[in-house]
């Protein structure tokens, strides 16, 4: 029994122990299910616009990068408890509790629009056509917050027949394919990603119902860390890496606000 116990304890420590390398290790918290910003690529490695930008930032600063996939529902606790040093994963800032009185937030690096994704045959051409329809949305996203909150988009949300919440967009999209719902309310990059994969039967309405900004979120006290990351990020903007990666991941480059300055 004692032997078993000690083996168990050793296993616990080995499995739970951190791989401690020399120098500062920057722990990047990502939602690993959020292409094209952060996801598992075909080789089973973490990739995406945000992941690659962060890797380059760490290269400049001489840091080791540790990518930590997090549970999006508990991201703020994981940041507070120092499991991660930042949330950097297509994160909508200045909304949904990610505010400056609680966190240190970087200069937003991307604009983003909330779009309506639908498919041919539904006859949906404008917001007016959505009246009485069933629209899917991922729980906890800013699209859901906008449609159910008290801003302008809430008026649009009120015209829907049903706003159907989903655990993730993968399932919502399958329901759209199968005709169980008429449209999906979703971030523009995610919608574009689906259209790229599934082709011309799917399209977005021209108008967006809300817009938001993506930024990097740090603990309140980590203003110095934020400034260092911002400094390196701006170098990457100036040398063109920022735009090149945007094109590599098929982002709408008009959203990459830092490039215009």
Partner 1 sequence: MTLTGMILKMSEGLGRTCAIFFLTLLFSLPLGLVVALLRMSKNRVVQAVTKVYISILRGTPLMLQLIAVAYGPFYLFGYTLLVKQKLLAIIIAFALNYAAYFAEIYRGGIESMPVGQYEAAHVLGYSKGQTFMRIILPQVVKRILPSVTNEVITLVKDTSMAFTLAYMEMFSIGKQIANSQSSFMPFVIAGGFYYLMNSVVAFAMSRCEKALGYYR
Distances 33 to 26, 48, 217 between C-alpha atoms, Å: 21, 10, 18
By the 8 A CB rule, do 1 and 61 touch? no
- The residue assigned the tokens 């999906």 is 184
Q: In this chain, which stretch among 12-20, 108-116, 202-210, 240-248 interacts with partner 1, using CB under 8 A? A: 12-20
Q: Provide the CA 23 distance to its chain's centre, in angstroms.
A: 28
Contacting partner 1 (CB under 8 A), which of 6, 126, 162, 170?
170
Is residue 71 a contact residue for partner 1 (CB under 8 A)?
A: yes
Contacting partner 1 (CB under 8 A), which of 102, 197, 220, 248?
197
**Cβ 44 to partner 1 shortest distance, Å:** 4
> Which H helix or E strand runs over 39?
strand 38-40
Q: Provide the CA 193 distance to its chain's centre, in angstroms.
A: 13
Distance between CA atoms of residues 98 and 88, nearest Å: 12
Among positions 19-48, residues that touch partner 1 (CB under 8 A) are: 32-35, 39-44
Distances 22 to 62, 65, 137 between C-alpha atoms, Å: 11, 12, 43
The residue count for binding partner 1 (CB under 8 A) is: 37
Is residue 4 a contact residue for partner 1 (CB under 8 A)?
A: yes
**Cβ 261 to partner 1 shortest distance, Å:** 32
- Give the sign of the dihedral formed by CA 169, CA 170, CA 175, CA 178: positive
Is residue 137 a contact residue for partner 1 (CB under 8 A)?
A: no
**Cβ 188 to partner 1 shortest distance, Å:** 17
Q: In this chain, which stretch among 7-15, 54-62, 101-109, 232-240 interacts with partner 1, using CB under 8 A? A: 7-15
Binding site for partner 1 (CB under 8 A): 4-5, 8, 11-12, 15-16, 18, 32-35, 39-44, 68-71, 74, 77-78, 80-83, 168-170, 173-174, 194, 197-198
């Amino acid at each position: 029994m004692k032997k078993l116990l000690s083996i168990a304890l050793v296993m616990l420590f080995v499995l739970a122990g951190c791989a401690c390398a020399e120098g500062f290790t920057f722990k990047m918290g990502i939602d690993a299910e959020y292409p094209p910003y952060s996801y598992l690529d075909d080789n089973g490695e973490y990739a995406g616009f945000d992941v690659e930008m962060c890797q380059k930032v760490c290269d400049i600063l001489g840091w080791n990068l540790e990518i930590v996939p997090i549970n999006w529902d508990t991201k703020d606790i994981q940041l507070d408890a120092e499991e991660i040093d930042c949330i950097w994963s297509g994160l909508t800032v200045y909304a949904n509790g990610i505010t400056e009185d609680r966190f240190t937030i970087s200069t937003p690096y991307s604009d983003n629009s909330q779009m309506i994704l639908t498919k041919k045959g539904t006859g949906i051409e404008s917001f007016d056509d959505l009246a009485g329809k069933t629209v899917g949305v991922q729980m906890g996203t800013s699209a859901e917050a906008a449609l159910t909150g008290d801003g302008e988009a809430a008026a649009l949300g009120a015209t829907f027949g049903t706003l159907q919440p989903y655990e993730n967009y993968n399932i919502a999209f399958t329901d759209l394919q199968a005709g169980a719902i008429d449209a999906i309310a979703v971030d523009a990059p995610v919608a574009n990603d689906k259209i790229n994969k599934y082709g011309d039967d799917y399209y977005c309405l021209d108008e967006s119902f809300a817009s938001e900004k993506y930024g990097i979120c740090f603990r309140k006290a980590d203003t110095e860390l934020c400034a260092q990351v911002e400094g390196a990020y701006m170098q990457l903007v100036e040398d063109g890496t920022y735009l090149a990666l945007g094109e590599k991941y098929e982002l709408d480059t008009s959203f990459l606000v830092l490039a215009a300055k």
